[in-house]
Structure 1
Amino acid sequence: MGHNWNVDDEFELDATPEEVWQAIASGPGIDSWFMGVSDVEPGVGGSVTTDFGGFAQRSEITAWEPARHLAYTSEPSPDGRFIAFEYLLEAKDGGTTVMRQVATGFLPGDDWEAEFEAMVTGGLMYTRTLRSYVDHFTGRFGVPVSAMVQHPDFDRAWAGMRADLGLPSETAEGDRVTLTPTGLAPITGVIDYLADGYLGVRANDALYRFYRGFFGPGLGHHVFTDGADRTGLEAEWLAWLDSAVA
């Protein structure tokens, strides 16, 4: 038996509604904080299509009011699975924006609870990534860098990732850290998301995201340096991930 679900959140962003709209309603904007690579065909009846690396999800746009209201719903799978997003923007004094973000969907099967828990926690990470992007990188577009591997023991894989990053055992959101991934340049930044099996670090030129995952350990970064080579970066980070969880 499946489960209908709903997650509703509201927060203030240090950007105008027009700037927030660019982040949520354009391909380059979505690529700067969400997973995969996205393309947007604007307008009601248009689409948001996201390529997750071999699997593309198309969502139909059902509401399109620039700088005010955006909604889109994925095409349901044969078992009824779908996900829908809605964004409501309200301008505030001082050039800020209050955004309400609503996610709804359906998970099939009797074992939906574990997937739902992982999805909600991961969703919170991407909501925080959106907030970090809009608050700190408005006007810049990032290159998405993704990698994921299969592993029989997610907890052991996560412990290996943390150890190789040199992450202290006692950490909290807001802490300044220096990550030292083997074979890659050190990363200095601020922890902007931390949960069981999830780590987000905001650096001057990138948003770094690491996760234990529900289907396997992985990462999803957004790099804002000029000329960033997505293919090369993904190869480097995949090699690191393979080594860290071995």
Structure 2
Amino acid sequence: MPHEFELAKEIELDATPEQVWEAIATGPGIDSWFMGRTEIEPHEGGRSRFTMMGGVNESTVTAWEPGKRFGYRSDENPDGIFMAFEYLIEGRDGGSTVLRLVQNGFLGDDWETEYEAMRAGWDMYLHKLAQYLAHFPGRTARAVISAARPNTGDPDRVWTALTAAIGLSGPVTEGAPVRLALDGLPPIEGVVDYAGLPSFLGVRTGDGLYRFIHSGPSRRNVLVLGHHVFSNDVDERTAEHAWNSWLDRVLA
């Protein structure tokens, strides 16, 4: 039976309202920090399409006030489940902006697990949005790399293998240096910018934002990569192949 819910988040961003709008209400902007690929028809009543790993979700734009308010509502599933989102943008003195997000709709039978996953996930993605606006302003991702492996096993074992593969030892803390090598790509060097184990690990480099996500045993122990690379030199197909090969080695 569908369960109604509402989730609200707020974050202050070191960016103007116009920059925030471009990041949350345009396809290229969203594709520079969020998962998957998004296309948006820029007007109220327009259609939006979200594509990720072969799946497609479509929505209708319900609010379109550039620089102030953006909302959309997903098409309803046969069982009545849908999602609605509203972003409210408020400029502050000094050039910063407060972004408020409200998400509501209906979840399925395992709604408590879904709700907690979304709540924690939004904390990570809004942090990623802040990193994008602070470190890559005016740029859009040249490569969006997604990969997923279900049933990877115990989170402790997976994180031990993954952190070792990116040069981390001991407790994972923000600011810790990261270095790894992938076949066919230049060495990747950066720092931990989000330490949210056992669910999330974020790395920022001079030309990218990298995210490693583990769903936990209640959601099939899925390990997900969600990377955004801003370098003009990157070839998306080559990078995606390199990361998938790397992931297979780490999990072997």
Query: How far is 1:152 from its partner?
Result: 4.7
The aligned counterpart of 2:137 is 138
- Matched-pair contact (CA < 8 Å) for 1:62–1:72: yes
Calculate the TM-score normalised by the size of structure 1.
0.91
The aligned counterpart of 1:165 is 166
**131-140 vs 117-126, which deviates more?**
117-126
**155-164 vs 56-65, which deviates more?**
155-164
The aligned counterpart of 2:122 is 123
What stretches of structure 2 of length at least 5 have no aligned partner? none
Alpha-carbon distance in 2 for matches of 1:104, 1:114: 15
Q: Secondary structure in 2 aligned to 1:42?
A: coil
Alpha-carbon distance in 2 for matches of 1:2, 1:31: 30
Of the three residues 204, 215, 236, the one matched with 1:230 is: 236
Aligned residue pairs, count: 244
Alpha-carbon distance in 2 for matches of 1:130, 1:82: 24
The answer on 1:197 being equivalent to 2:199 is yes
Alpha-carbon distance in 2 for matches of 1:46, 1:154: 43
Alpha-carbon distance in 2 for matches of 1:238, 1:190: 21
Q: 1:107 to 1:158 in 2, by over 3 A?
A: farther
Alpha-carbon distance in 2 for matches of 1:48, 1:129: 22
Amino acid at match of 2:25: A
Q: How does 1:1-246 map to 2 (within 5 A)?
A: 1-109=1-109, 111-142=110-141, 143-155=143-155, 156-173=157-174, 175-181=175-181, 183=183, 185-195=186-196, 196-213=198-215, 214-215=219-220, 216-246=222-252
Alpha-carbon distance in 2 for matches of 1:93, 1:243: 49
Alpha-carbon distance in 1 for matches of 2:27, 2:169: 36
- Matched-pair contact (CA < 8 Å) for 1:144–1:221: yes
**227-236 vs 156-165, which deviates more?**
156-165
- Matched-pair contact (CA < 8 Å) for 1:151–1:157: no
Amino acid at match of 2:179: L
- Matched-pair contact (CA < 8 Å) for 2:152–2:223: no
Q: Secondary structure in 2 aligned to 1:158?
A: helix
Query: How far is 1:144 from its partner?
Result: 1.2
Cα-to-partner distance string for 1:52-82 (whole Å, 9 max, x where unaligned): 0211111111000000000111112222332
Query: How far is 1:185 from its partner?
Result: 4.5
Q: Secondary structure in 1 aligned to 2:34?
A: coil
Query: How far is 1:188 from its partner?
Result: 2.6
Alpha-carbon distance in 2 for matches of 1:9, 1:85: 11
Query: How far is 1:182 from its partner?
Result: 5.7
Q: 1:121 to 1:181 in 2, by over 3 A?
A: farther
- Matched-pair contact (CA < 8 Å) for 2:2–2:79: no
Cα-to-partner distance string for 1:125-164 (whole Å, 9 max, x where unaligned): 1111111111221100012111111225152333322232
Alpha-carbon distance in 2 for matches of 1:65, 1:233: 37
Query: How far is 1:91 from its partner?
Result: 1.3
RMSD of equivalent CA atoms: 1.8
Alpha-carbon distance in 1 for matches of 2:6, 2:148: 27
Q: Secondary structure in 1 aligned to 2:189?
A: strand
Alpha-carbon distance in 1 for matches of 2:130, 2:103: 16
Q: 1:182 to 1:22 in 2, by over 3 A?
A: closer
Alpha-carbon distance in 1 for matches of 2:116, 2:208: 27
Cα-to-partner distance string for 1:84-132 (whole Å, 9 max, x where unaligned): 22111111122221111122232111x2222322232222211111111
- Matched-pair contact (CA < 8 Å) for 1:182–1:240: yes
Q: 1:153 to 1:21 in 2, by over 3 A?
A: same
Cα-to-partner distance string for 1:13-54 (whole Å, 9 max, x where unaligned): 111111111111111101000000111111111122111021
Q: Secondary structure in 1 aligned to 2:4?
A: strand
Alpha-carbon distance in 1 for matches of 2:47, 2:161: 39
Q: Secondary structure in 2 aligned to 1:70?
A: strand
